Structure 1
Amino acid sequence: MKDLFGKAILDYQTHNNPENIITSTSISEEDEMEVGYLFRSFGEMPTIEQKALQLTKGRTLDVGCGAGSHSLYLQNERNIDVHSIDISRNAIEACSLRGLRNVQAIDVLDLDNEKYDTILLLMNGTGVFETLDKTTRYLQKLKSLLNPNGQILIDSSDIIYMFDEDEDGGKWIPSDTYYGELTFNLRYKNEIEAPFPWLYMDYNTLQNAALANGLECQLLLEGDHFDYLAQLSI
């Protein structure tokens, strides 16, 4: 991958003429995202993200930290020991430049010999799982990284609303795959990233997956647009 998302983050941090990120998915047209949105303060974050950060406790792992805004709040405002990881080396460089002390460019599946009290997966945290059939692998890995009485705080959305309805109110959804499995396309400064999988999970599907992997699942908060925050624990 060209790491264009991370390049946009690093361009914004270093004032290197950042431009909007152009995204589209297998079920939606192109949309523009301002890179500055990723650098928002706590007060500018959605309620679900604020709630997750307020519930964070102990040694914390921020998975897919992006520009590091969640981690910075935890480190600077709550004095929490936070380990921020992302597969994007450009994003991790930007996080370091922003003052995060414990950052690492690594896939969470490759993280070993670590234990945490809180694991954060925010901004559609289930996207990291890629597809529904990979969810067990990720949940087992996250479970192995938890301390006793630890918690996983994760958000996602039920995107059923994006599919057309028939006259009886039923939804036209794919029959061969889970409807939350999307392919993402990304363009930045006229460069095109290779398409990549991204998973949105409705709460019931997440709950069933959690229970199947020996994790308790609790719905903590529902947002205004089919989004939610959940807590997983052993």
Structure 2
Amino acid sequence: MKDVFGKAILDFQEGNYTEDIITFSSLDEEDTIPVPYLFRVFKEMPKLEQEALKLCKGTILDIGCGAGSHSLYLQEKGHSVTALDYSKRAIETCSLRGIKNVVYTDIYSFKNQKFDTLLLLMNGIGIVGKLNNMSKFFDHIKTLMNPGAQILLDSSDIIYMFEEDEDGGVWVPDTGSYYGEIEFQMEYKKEKSDSFFWLYLDYKTLEMAAESNGFNCEIVRNGEHYDYLAKLWLK
């Protein structure tokens, strides 16, 4: 894939920031990702992220680390953290920021290491792409967990993005797919990424998927707008 996300991150790190990332989605929404936000410090993070970082314990795998802001904070707090991302430029940025343990790979190719905390923030569960990939994801993630390990993830129920009818119900197009499966494309400095699917999970759907794959699941904290932080651990 064209690494436009990583290019934007590395540009910012190297002082070449001039514009933000534009996103296009299957919901016909055009939006932007402010690149400086990816470099936020702890006090600038949402409460859900702050809570997740406080709950981290033992050895930590930061999955989809991006610019590495979460990993950097944890490292500065004395934790043993590994920052993993499928963006080569993002991982280069993490190294430039001083993160000691970095891995450039996709999560399914990462093997033979185990951790006490697996962290998926900024809707990190989105990497699963589609709901029917959840079992594959959970099967692999189990191989990366020490006894007693925890998964900390945040996500959102995007039901609010669909039209409400006169009776207060929500009209969701019948596409045959789960409504949280969103197709995205990114653009940065006139270069567009390939299209990809990103998954948003309402809590009940996450809970059912977790239970059916041998995990306990609980909400740690609800956010301000349909978002939440959840903790999962093996039964």
> Which TM-score tier does this pair reach, normalised by the shorter chain?
over 0.9
Could you tell me which residue of structure 2 aligns to residue 99 of structure 1? 98
1:33: Cα distance to partner?
A: 2.0
Is the CA contact 2:111–2:143 (under 8 Å) kept in the aligned structure 1? no
1:140: Cα distance to partner?
A: 1.4
Distance 1:52 1:184, change over 3 A: same
Is the CA contact 1:8–1:18 (under 8 Å) kept in the aligned structure 2? no
Cα separation, 2, equivalents of 1:129 and 1:201: 10
Name which of structure 1's ranges 122-131 and 15-24 shifts more when overlaid on structure 2. Answer: 15-24
Cα separation, 2, equivalents of 1:137 and 1:24: 27
Q: How does 1:14-53 map to 2 (within 5 A)?
A: 14-53=14-53
Distance 1:180 1:117, change over 3 A: same
Q: Quick one: percent identity of the two aligned structures?
A: 55
TM-score by length of 2: 0.97
Structure 2 counterpart SS, 1:183: strand
Cα separation, 2, equivalents of 1:138 and 1:7: 27
Distance 1:120 1:100, change over 3 A: same
What amino acid is the match of 1:157? S
Report how many aligned residue pairs link the two structures. 233
Q: Does 1:220 pair with 2:200? A: no
1:16: Cα distance to partner?
A: 2.0
TM-score by length of 1: 0.98
Cα separation, 1, equivalents of 2:78 and 2:89: 25
Q: Does 1:156 pair with 2:155? A: yes
Structure 2 counterpart SS, 1:160: helix
Cα separation, 2, equivalents of 1:155 and 1:18: 30
Structure 1 counterpart SS, 2:166: coil
Could you tell me which residue of structure 1 aligns to residue 192 of structure 2? 192
Is the CA contact 1:18–1:35 (under 8 Å) kept in the aligned structure 2? no
CA RMSD of aligned residues (A): 0.9
What amino acid is the match of 2:196? F
Cα separation, 2, equivalents of 1:166 and 1:43: 39
Cα separation, 2, equivalents of 1:174 and 1:144: 37
* C-alpha distance after superposition, 1:129-160 (max 9, x if no partner): 11001111111111221111110001100000
**Where does structure 1 differ by over 3 angstroms across 4 or more consecutive aligned residues?**
none
Could you tell me which residue of structure 2 aligns to residue 141 of structure 1? 140
Cα separation, 2, equivalents of 1:59 and 1:139: 19
Could you tell me which residue of structure 1 aligns to residue 66 of structure 2? 66
What amino acid is the match of 2:25? T
Cα separation, 2, equivalents of 1:191 and 1:204: 37
Cα separation, 2, equivalents of 1:191 and 1:50: 33
Structure 1 counterpart SS, 2:171: coil
Could you tell me which residue of structure 2 aligns to residue 89 of structure 1? 88
